[in-house]
Structure 1
Amino acid sequence: MSGELFAFLVLALLAILGGILMLNLTKVIHMLLSLVLTFLAIAGLYVMLSAEFVAIAQVLIYSGAVTIIMIFGIMLTRHNDEQKTRGNLTRNIIVGAGIVLFFFTMYFSINQVSFGDQATSLHVENTKQIGVELYSKYVIPFELMSVVLLVALVGAIILAKRDDEEEAEHK
């Protein structure tokens, strides 16, 4: 087993573990921390693919900014911190079988793909290629996404402020 394969397996297992923990934990802050684990593991996979720019963007934007916004959203809104018991053996077996089926479908699909000559030019000026693609073909979706994020942030602030005003009226 080569070091590259070992690193891939460790990062992939960490990403999967973070996703599973996020779905099974009950406290929202713990869910966010497991989401950060997943984001960091995916950033490590990007480094292995020689996409350092995308890895740094993953860490800065998702692991940092999005997680902080989610924490602020949790802190600004009221939520019940009750422990709910989740446990349905039949559902867990069906979900596990679905995951195994998805894994094998993806494994066999990926093994049949031929990359041809693209694999040799993949590592040459990858940051420049990302910039050209992003700002030539995907400018409008890129700008629309920034507007959507801004509207969501303003909406969260308005909702939190409205909850505080309603709470002050009831006292």
Structure 2
Amino acid sequence: MLSNIVEFFSNGSNLVFFVFALLIIGGAIFMISFTKVVHMVVALAFSFLSLAGLYVLLEAEFVAFVQVLIYAGAVSILMIFGIMMTKHRDEDKAPPPRQTHNILLGIGILGLFGILFYAIQTADFPVENVSLAQDNTLEIGTRIFTDHVIPFELMSVLLTVAFIGAIVVAKREED
């Protein structure tokens, strides 16, 4: 089992994948651990950027670009503007520390990690040869506007309705 770990880390792309995975998980943990909302958004943006790096490693450059542009950029800035535009109470009281809860949580996390590690090490994954498209962006555009045009249009209608609903809700709070 130890030889599998050494073999895994001997490949450079596996090592980079492991680093990006740790950065994504770390950003997510920081996001749920912070108490200030702006710090949470920054941690979430850090996770989004790390996920874009993972997409680059998987040779999905277009998806990585969209990840940075839409999620790390637009969504994070939208969340920060939403935080700044709303009123917040100054109640930043931290809950009392629960030692028993934290110890049980740590034991559960280590147990889950151990079970997943054992399952992955003993699993036999089939190797398939998959041919990648030469131009990922062209292939994505072709698939979206030919095979998946109905779901694409339904998502645009759904986003428009959500945007109008957000405007109505914001207008009611103002009155």
State the TM-score, normalizing by the size of structure 2.
0.75
Q: Please identify, of 37-46 and 156-165, the stretch whose mean Cα deviation from structure 2 is larger.
A: 156-165
CA distance in 1, matches of 2:165, 2:116: 40
In structure 2, relative to structure 1, the CA distance for the partners of 1:114 and 1:84 (3 Å cut) is farther
The equivalent residue for 2:166 is 156
The equivalent residue for 2:83 is 74
Structure 2: where are the runs of 5+ without partners? 1-9
CA distance in 2, matches of 1:138, 1:92: 46
Structure 1: where are the runs of 5+ without partners? 166-171
Q: Please identify, of 154-163 and 93-102, the stretch whose mean Cα deviation from structure 2 is larger.
A: 93-102
In structure 2, relative to structure 1, the CA distance for the partners of 1:136 and 1:48 (3 Å cut) is same
CA distance in 1, matches of 2:120, 2:13: 21
The one of the two structures with greater contact order (alpha-carbon pairs below 8 A, sep at least 6) is 1
The equivalent residue for 1:31 is 40
CA distance in 2, matches of 1:69, 1:54: 20
State the TM-score, normalizing by the size of structure 1.
0.77
The equivalent residue for 2:144 is 134
Q: Please identify, of 72-81 and 52-61, the stretch whose mean Cα deviation from structure 2 is larger.
A: 72-81
The equivalent residue for 1:116 is 128
Deviation at 1:13, TM superposition (A): 1.1
Aligned residue pairs: how many? 163
In structure 2, relative to structure 1, the CA distance for the partners of 1:134 and 1:84 (3 Å cut) is farther
The equivalent residue for 1:169 is none
Please point out which of 53, 61, 69 is paired with 1:60: 69
